[in-house]
Amino acid sequence: MSFNEKIMLNDGRQMPLLGLGVYKAVGENEVEQAIADAADAGYRLIDTASVYKNEDGVGRGIKALTIPRDELFVTTKIWNTAQRIGDVEDSFNRSLERLGLDYVDLYLIHWPVPGCYTDTWKALEKLQSQGRVKSIGVSNFHIHDLEMLKKISDVVPAVNQIEFHPLFNQPELLSYCRDNKIAVQAYAPLARGAYLHSQLLLEIGRKYQKTTAQIGLRWAVQQGISVIPKSVHKERIQENAGIFDFSLTAEEMEAITAMDAHHRTAGIPEDMIPYYKD
């Protein structure tokens, strides 16, 4: 498995296994520098969202790169408020303008807002048909949400971006996505540091001369799951990229999977709490 390893999406396009997450990167020149450091380290996937309030910085960071646009994979997402008022196309146009791009590679529904997300999905289909979005997908969707999309559309989401890490590995949802050819992408793959002092991962890390973060990320990508660890620190960005020069044994993979504690580390938006159940 090489650094430039990609996974094939159900629409025929390819997505890198490793990307840079930029959640909460809003400091002056912070996201621009992170993108430059990530590109230097070999990253080609950048993940943002309208609610992150940094699409303009992402756009400036991309513009400063010398990498051809078709070698980059840029993801953004529509937020809940825009779904509720049926503002999908205008919200997308604003994101595209802030990013300074002609298209995005992946546009996601950030959360399955009840009573809205099916209409939002149909709007995403339209954007894809116009060529301004190459692939469309979802984030934080449960099985019943994905089943609902099946009822109203023949277009299967290319990606379901979910919280996924050794402490929260959602086996039923992962199995469903695999069965339905929906690629899984892991946000918060480092569980906000929650497993970085695990004795198991420390022991495995010593064997391979890797950090616990690298072991956790390797465990995910070795399952064909794309990961987008968030960092604005050059050393961490480089460290997170060092996961393609070793492989875990089947026994090690099973032991890490057995760490699952149904422990969600990312927050749920206040407006989704009444509806969203793990």
Instruction: Give the DSSP per-residue string, 139-163.
Output: ES--HHHHHHHHHH-SPPPSEEEEE
Token pair, residue 209, equals 């001369």
CB-CB neighbours of 131 under 10 Å: 9
Residues annotated as part of the active site: 52
Q: How far apart are the first and last CA of the chain?
A: 32
Of 62, 4, 70, nearest to 36 by C-alpha is: 62
What are the respective helix, strand and coil percentages of the chain, to the nearest 5?
40, 15, 40
Could you tell me if 94 and 50 are in contact, meaning their C-beta atoms sit under 8 angstroms apart?
yes
Residue 65 makes CB contacts below 8 A (sequence gap 6+) with 35, 36, 39, 72
The amino acid that residue 94 corresponds to is: R
Of 171, 187, 133, nearest to 11 by C-alpha is: 133
Alpha-carbon gap, residue 269 to 7, rounded angstroms: 30
Alpha-carbon gap, residue 57 to 27, rounded angstroms: 10
Binding residues for substrate: 110
